[in-house]
Amino acid sequence: MILFFALAIVLVASAIVTIVQKSPVYSVVSLLVNFIALAAMYFTLNAEFIGVIQIVVYTGAILVLFVFVIALLSSGIGPFSEGPDRLPKILVPALVATLAAFGFLTYGLTRVPLGTLPAHVTTSTVGDVGKANVFGSVGDFGAALFTTHLLPFEVTAFILMVAVIGVVVLGSDATIAPTHGTHVPKKKSRERESIVKAAK
Amino acid sequence: MPVDIANYISLSTVIFFIGVIGVVTRRNPLIVLMSIELMFNAANLAIVAFSKLWGNNAGHIFVFLVVTVAAAEAAIGLAIVVQVFRRAKHVDLDEVAGLRG
Query: Does the CB of A141 have a partner CB in chain B at under 8 Å?
Result: yes
As a whole number, the mean pLDDT across chain A is 77
CB contact under 8 A, A80 and B91: yes
Residue A195 has pLDDT above 90, yes or no: no
- The domain spanning residue B92 has which CATH number? 1.10.287.3510
Chain B residues with beta carbon closer than 8 angstroms to that of A57: 67, 71
Among B10, B34, B65, B80, most A C-beta atoms within 10 A, so best to mutate, is B34
Q: What residue of A is the nearest CA neighbor of B68? A: A156
Q: Of B35, B38, B21, nearest to A101 (Cα)?
A: B21
Domain hosting B72: range is: 5-99
Q: Are B39 and B46 in contact (CB under 8 A)?
A: no
Q: Compare CB distances from A19 to B9, B22, B81 and report the shortest one's residue.
A: B22
Question: What long-range pairs does A69-72 form, CB within 8 A, spacing at least 24?
Answer: A69/B30, A69/B78, A69/B81, A69/B82, A70/A24, A70/A25, A70/A28, A70/B30, A72/B82
Q: Measured between alpha carbons, how far is A37 from A30 in angstroms, rounded to an integer?
A: 11
Of residues B100 and A25, more confidence is placed in: A25
Q: Is A120 on the interface with B (CB under 8 A)?
A: no
Per the model's pLDDT, the better-predicted residue between A118 and A6 turns out to be A6
Task: Give the residue-averaged pLDDT of A73-102.
Answer: 67
CB B35 within 8 A of CB A30: no
Percent pLDDT > 70 in chain A is 70
CB contact under 8 A, B60 and A50: yes
For residues A171 and A37, what is the distance between their CA atoms, to the nearest angstrom? 33
pLDDT for the residue A81: 45
The string of pLDDT tens digits covering residues A133-147 is: 677 778 888 888 888
Q: What are phi and psi of A127, to 5 degrees?
A: 90, -130
Domain count, chain B: 1
Alpha-carbon distance of B23 to B18, in angstroms, equals 9
CB A15 within 8 A of CB A34: yes
Count other Cβ atoms within 10 Å, centred on residue A56.
12
Euclidean distance between CA atoms B55 and A54, whole angstroms: 20
Q: How far is CA A25 from the centre of its chain?
A: 16
- How much is the average pLDDT of A7-17? 93
pLDDT digits (tens, 9 = 90+) for A33-84: 999 999 999 988 888 889 999 999 988 889 999 998 888 877 555 555 444 4
| A71 part of contact set with chain B, CB < 8 Å | no
The answer to whether A51 faces chain B, any CB pair under 8 Å, is no
Give the per-residue pLDDT at B15: 92
Report which of residues A190 and A167 the model is more confident about. Answer: A167
Question: What integer pLDDT is reported at residue B26 of this predicted model?
Answer: 81
Q: pTM for this one?
A: 0.80
Residues of chain B below pLDDT 70: 1-2, 89-91, 101
- pLDDT score of B66: 93
Averaged over A19-45, what is the pLDDT? 90
pLDDT score of A20 more than 90: no
Question: Is a pLDDT exceeding 50 seen at residue A180?
Answer: no
Q: Label each residue of chain B as H, E or C.
A: CCCCHHHHHHHHHHHHHHHHHHHHHCCCHHHHHHHHHHHHHHHHHHHHHHHHHHCCCHHHHHHHHHHHHHHHHHHHHHHHHHHHHHHHCCCCCCCCCCCCC
Query: CB of B18 within 8 Å of any CB in chain A?
Result: yes
Residue A200 pLDDT level (bands cut at 50, 70, 90): low
Nearest to B24 by CA among B35, B15, B13: B35
What residues in B contact A61, CB-CB < 8 Å?
71
| More confident: A175 or A135 | A135
